Amino acid sequence: MKKVLGGIILLILVLLMGAPWYIGKQVQTFYTQITEESLQQNPTLDIKDLDYQRGWFSSVITGTITFKTMGDDLALPADIRFKSDVIHGPVFWAALSSGSAMGLALDHSTVWIEPVDESDPEMAAMIKEIPPFEMKSLIGFNKTISSVYSIAAYAKSIESGSSPVNIDFAGLTGNGTFNWGSKDFDFKAEMPSFSIKESENEAFIIDSLILSAAKAGGDTSARYDIAKIACNSKAANIHFVLDKAYVEALSKETGEVYNSTLETGFDRLVNNYVTFAPAKLELMLDNLDKASIDTLRETINEAAASDAMGSEMYGMMLMGKVMELLPEILKRDPKLTLTTLSLGTGDDETLTATGYAKILGEQAINLPSAAFIAQALDAEFEAALPKAFLNNFVDLGQLMQLMDQGLLVSDEMYYRTKAIVKEGHVTINGNTIM
């Protein structure tokens, strides 16, 4: 009995002592993989002075993040440094002592900014005061990392001219998950407020910015919500207010194509003396060839990695790749649908538009030139334009000319137009143009 009990105790000790070594090795492999993949997907980034010190029960990772595309004139006056303290054993004791769930390892990462040199003491002191990005993660047995992250609140008053400039950042919080096997993720971050004020007449304010994003298989989504952005500058004659704005994008992988939706809108926008309220735009882009779009992404990444992003060659390189892939893209009959365009331009006045445009791929491929694209287009668009709004931007004589040509029709409050393209024929408001 004593021998059996002794054997069990010995086995437990071996597991407790051996498991941290094995788990530490697996965690190091994971970090190496994640670093390599992140640099491949973000070719403008690089990591220098990367150091991985793996111990028996814990490891420490340090390094510096750099931007490849920044020239000497755009170089940051600071280094972006990071450090990760990883606990990988004894696993159970580490979890219990930290109050976390069980997992392979626990990670506490910090990203902060360090001044490059101390030649400008005031600038160096300001950089050192910027709060770090903190993230605590549980690396689970199922290859899923669960994280919570934050940036502490920050307030600073900078002497400038007759009155100080006050910077007030209310902090940032967020949480998310990432699976390093499937590459699926789901995260959310929120910034309550941020402001730069010199006075009530010179101020920039953001209230409640929320970002969320997710990926599951071939489907991805992202959404921004902003309660308010305001910018006032009496000296520059700027008065800008944006209330309750949002942007939401969704891409779904269906077989060999991507189908995407973009929706955006706001409750009110004020730009000096012009006010719009409310607004909504919804676009759908269907039947995008998956292989071609993935190839375009790779081309953009390669250009960024080779420092070609800002050069004249970048546009030529991208256009050349688009022309090369165009036959495959057209074969899928890509379709753009304007589901909704609604813009409030005044009391009881709203600019509206709807429509769609579909390219008939087989016909488009055989066209002698792009000038004959109408022969491969199936499209229909309709719009209503408030008179009071349009008259402020377009000469009345030009509007009358457009009505004489049948391109616009008029009623009491709106100019209206409807265009249809089918089988190579174009009609506007029932009048055949070609």
pLDDT average, residue stretch 123-134:
89
Label residues 268-306 b or e (16+ Cβ within 10 Å = b).
Answer: bbeeeeeebeebbbbbbebbbbeebbeebeebbbebbbe
At 305 the pLDDT is 63
The residue type at 190: E
Do the Cβ atoms of 128 and 46 come closer than 8 Å?
A: no
419 vs 16, more confident? 419
Residue whose token pair is 């930290």 = 98
173, 189 contact by CB (below 8 A): yes
pLDDT bucket at 121, cuts 50 / 70 / 90: confident
pLDDT digits (tens, 9 = 90+) for 407-434: 999 998 999 999 999 988 899 999 888 7
Among residues 74, 134, 72, 78, which one has the least CA distance to residue 109? 134
Q: Is the pLDDT of residue 368 over 90?
A: no
pTM of the model: 0.85
> DSSP letters of 194-253?
EEEEEETTEEEEEEEEEEEEEEETTEEEEEEEEEEEEEEETTTTEEEEEEEEEEEEEEEE
Give percent of the chain above pLDDT 70.
86
Structure token digits, residue 101: 């769930």
